[in-house]
Amino acid sequence: MFDIERSYHAQGKRYIIGIDEVGRGPLAGDVVAAAVCVDFDKINEEAHDLGLIEGIKDSKKLSAKKRQVLAGKIKEAAVDFSIAGASAQTIDKINILQATILSMEKALVDLEEKLKKKNIVADLVLVDSVKIKSHIETVSLDKGDDKCYSIACASILAKVYRDEVLCKKYEEDYPGYGFLKHKGYGTKAHREALLKHGPCPIHRQSFLKNMKKWEDEAKRIGDLGEKKAEAYLKDEGYEILERNFIFHGEGEIDLIAKKDFYLVFVEVKQRKNANYGYGAEAVDEIKQKKIKKAAEYYYHFVNKEDLQPRFDVIEIYSETEDLNHFIDAFQ
């Protein structure tokens, strides 16, 4: 991890800046870069005291808790550091690679200003993967966050800032997407939230070209789940009256059935497993309100029988073939 910087230090390079970014892959949020200046004169190999922080490595190979601890140590030990980013709108406008370069160059310029106030001029800049413009000698290293101490430090600071600061703000500003959990990456839970709520202002429009594919896949899975639920209800003695009843585009009911004295409005949720939450949990207050609105119309204007209305939820897990039927679920 220190060999590359040791070789440069042997050539007289004392102040070395490492730069790395995080957030190139997510569907939402900023791409973030950090620049960290390390004083390699602290190395004292004869005393076997490197003066460096133990445990520094590529941020992707560290737990969130470990990253937070190391980030605090990096901020204390570094000569100085800077963090900069590029928004989703900038990413859409100039593409993710150029936005990454822009955020790196912004972080570097800001760090240089901080160093200038300390009468320090950096001797070398090491950058992970991409090439940036600078008047300082700059070296781009493939997988630099796995090879260089300074770049790994930058990787950790950028990751902690994006995950713990920015994503917390995203969660507060745009609840319902789960940004604190998936950090904007295209997980199943995030894709489902996108299909449910649509994109929000921090989503990268240029990254959402597969939404139609997700919609088609969600519809296919949903149709399969509804067929399973329908077969189950028939086996339980229910008579199916309607499938996918839509009320003026404002609310939809997957299945409407009757049994005994009940007119049953059924919401069906099929998932692969419960890793991202239970299916029934997705039928939140907003979803219930829409279902009730459609059910009210059906009950008063379509239903011809004197039946007691009831709202049920059926969740199905394809991985285990489990089916759970929650009777009178909205109570």
What string of DSSP letters covers 226-254? HHHHHHHHHHTTPEEEEEEEEETTTEEEE
56 vs 68: CA distance, rounded Å = 12
Of 77, 64, 86, the residue nearest 160 (C-alpha): 64
Cβ burial, residue 32 (10 Å; 0-12/13-18/19+): buried
The pLDDT score that the predictor gives to residue 48 is 46
In three-state secondary structure terms, 50 is coil
Long-range contact pairs involving 97-105 (C-beta distance under 8 Å, separation at least 24)? 97/130, 99/31, 100/21, 100/24, 100/31, 100/33, 100/130, 101/130, 101/131, 101/132, 103/21, 103/30, 103/31, 103/32, 103/33, 104/19, 104/21, 104/33, 104/35, 104/130, 104/132, 105/132, 105/133, 105/134
Taken as a whole, the chain contains a residue count of 331
- 206 Cα distance to chain centroid: 16
Q: How far apart are CA 287 and CA 292, in angstroms?
A: 9
Structure tokens at 329: 């679920």
Whether residue 101 contacts residue 130, with contact meaning beta carbons closer than 8 Å, is answered with yes
159: three-class secondary structure by DSSP? helix
Q: State the Cα–Cα distance between residues 241 and 75, nearest whole angstrom.
A: 65
Handedness of CA 292, 294, 295, 299 (dihedral sign): positive
Taking the C-alpha atoms of residue 287 and residue 66, their distance in angstroms, rounded to an integer, is 39
Q: Which residues of the chain have pLDDT under 50?
A: 46-48
Query: What is the per-residue pLDDT across 128-152, written as a single tens digit (0 to 9) for each?
Result: 989 999 999 999 999 888 899 999 9
Q: What are phi and psi of 42, to 5 degrees?
A: -70, -15
How many other CB atoms are found less than 10 A from the CB of residue 168?
12
Please tell me whether the overall predicted TM-score, pTM, comes out greater than 0.75 for this model: no
Residue 140: closest CA among 129, 151, 148, 150: 129
**Angle of helix 188-197 relative to helix 211-235, nearest 10 degrees?**
90
Q: Which domains does the chain have, with CATH numbers?
A: 3-174 (3.30.420.10), 214-326 (3.40.1350.10)
Contact yes or no for 144/20 (Cβ under 8 A): yes
In single-letter form, the type of residue at position 118 comes to K
Identity (one letter) of the amino acid at 282? A
- For the beta sheet containing 251-259, the strands, ordered from the edge strand earlier in sequence to the opposite edge, are 239-247, 251-259, 262-271, 308-317, 322-326
Strands 308-317 and 322-326: antiparallel
Query: What pLDDT score does 47 carry?
Result: 40
Quote the pLDDT of residue 209. 84
